[in-house]
């Protein structure tokens, strides 16, 4: 199968028929073998009925229904598990993403050799309350991840099947799939300017709170991607710095005490335990030890998980032949 199209949908009953016909026309014009997987993410309207109708008309249109709203990440994760196409394309169900982009996205994956192609809505039909925060978060994500994309959250993306079969999308991480793909070793990532259409039916399902969650998710995925297998590098480094800072203050306190008693013989104005520097040194040493121990324990847990970890293997040669020889012997 050439293409799997995965479409999360929530309360999009008006859009489903028109979008389905549009996708069918594009696929037939380019002679693609394909499947379309709708994920009904807890819709309260007749979205699921429309998906069922499309399946009766054309069995290549398939559907998954959640019992409640789990979010776009859960919908994509479920769709990724079910997809069978060599190239997997995701798009939104609100008709703001154009199916006419599918052939070029497919070409970039199959002919140009990219592993992930992200859409770039260069000209957006969204209010400024969405575009300005989006530009800020895209800028921050570019700087942190090192991936030079202009629109990480664009719903229109294309993936080589190896990518979607080897990443897990959870929480609100769908907007950072390119980052997760990079950490998994899929570095052939590019972007394509795509058409962004005005919403024809319904209303947007996203509010301002998604930007707060998005920023927290970015911090989480950056930390996990860099330090999940070597937590001591993070906690140990900060623990040692904190301990050395506290230890240095402690040395100064001892020096001042020795100086007042044996050298200058000028008594201190305040006893050691009444000086703020004493408590600063104590807190710094304690925090340093705690951070170091946290890193040590996390390192032990990470080492235990290594034996259970399944590393991504995309090809092999000679191994099966060697197994057969061993069996004959």
* Domain positions in the chain: 3-226, 232-306
Question: Could you identify the residue written with the tokens 């069996």?
Answer: 327
Cα–Cα dist 159/165, whole Å: 10
Would you say 9 and 90 are in contact if contact means Cβ atoms under 8 Å apart? Answer: no
Whether the Cβ atoms of residue 114 and residue 108 lie closer than 8 Å to each other:
yes
Using CA atoms, how far apart are residues 48 and 37, in angstroms rounded to an integer? Answer: 12
Give the residue carrying structure tokens 């034996």.
Answer: 307
> What is the phi/psi pair of residue 220, to 5°?
-65, -50
| Structure token pair of residue 40 | 């009904």
pLDDT at 51 over 70: yes
Paired sense of beta strands 61-65 and 34-40, if any: parallel
> What values do phi and psi take at 48, rounded to 5?
-65, -35
DSSP string covering 98-125, please?
-GGGHHHHHHHHHTS--SEEEEE-SS--
Q: Is the pLDDT of residue 1 over 80?
A: yes
pLDDT in tens, 166-205: 888 877 788 889 988 998 889 999 999 998 877 777 666 5
Q: What is the pLDDT of residue 230?
A: 77
The answer to whether domain 3-226 has CATH 3.30.565.10 is no
Enter the tokens of residue 173: 């991480």
At residue 164, the pLDDT reads 93
Q: Using only the alpha carbons of the chain, give its radius of gyration.
A: 27
Cross-strand pairs, 5: 36, 89
Q: Which residue has the tokens 């957006």?
A: 124
Burial 270-291 (b: 16+ CB within 10 A, else e): eeeeeeeebeebeebbebbeeb
pLDDT surpasses 90 at 310: no
Q: What's the mean pLDDT in 74-103?
A: 93
pTM recorded for the entire structure: 0.72
Angle, nearest 10°, between helix axes 102-110 and 15-29? 50
What does the pLDDT read at residue 309? 52
Distance of CA 60 to the CA centre of its chain: 29
User: Which DSSP state fits 113?
Assistant: -
Please, what is the average pLDDT of the chain? 84
Q: What is the pLDDT of residue 184?
A: 84
């Amino acid at each position: 199968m050439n293409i799997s199209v995965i479409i999360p949908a929530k309360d999009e009953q008006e859009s489903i028929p028109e979008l389905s016909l549009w996708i069918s026309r594009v696929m037939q014009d380019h002679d693609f073998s394909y499947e379309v997987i709708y994920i009904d993410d807890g819709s309260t309207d007749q979205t699921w009925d429309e998906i069922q109708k499309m399946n009766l008309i054309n069995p290549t249109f398939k559907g998954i229904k959640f019992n409640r709203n789990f979010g776009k990440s859960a919908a994509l994760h479920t769709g990724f598990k079910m997809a069978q196409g060599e190239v997997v394309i995701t798009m939104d169900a609100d008709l703001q993403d154009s199916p006419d982009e599918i052939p070029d996205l497919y070409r970039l994956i199959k002919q140009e050799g990219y592993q992930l192609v992200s859409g770039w809505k260069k000209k957006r039909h969204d209010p400024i309350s969405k575009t300005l925060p989006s530009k800020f978060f895209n800028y921050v994500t570019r700087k942190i991840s090192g991936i030079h994309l202009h629109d990480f959250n664009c719903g229109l993306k294309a993936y080589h099947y190896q990518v979607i079969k080897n990443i897990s999308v959870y929480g609100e991480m769908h907007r950072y799939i390119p980052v997760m793909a990079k950490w998994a070793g899929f570095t052939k990532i590019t972007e394509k300017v795509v058409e962004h259409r005005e919403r024809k039916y319904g209303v947007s399902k996203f509010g301002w709170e998604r930007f707060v969650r998005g920023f927290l998710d970015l911090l989480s995925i950056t930390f996990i991607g860099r330090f999940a297998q070597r937590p001591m590098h993070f906690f140990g480094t900060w623990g040692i710095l904190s301990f050395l800072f506290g230890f240095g203050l402690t040395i100064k306190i001892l020096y001042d005490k020795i100086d007042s008693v044996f050298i200058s013989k000028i008594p201190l104005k305040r006893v050691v335990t009444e000086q703020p520097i004493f408590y600063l040194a104590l807190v710094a040493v304690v925090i340093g030890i705690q951070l170091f121990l946290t890193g040590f324990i996390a390192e032990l847990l990470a080492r235990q998980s290594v034996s259970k970890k399944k590393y991504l293997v995309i090809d092999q040669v000679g191994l099966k032949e060697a197994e057969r020889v061993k069996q004959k012997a």
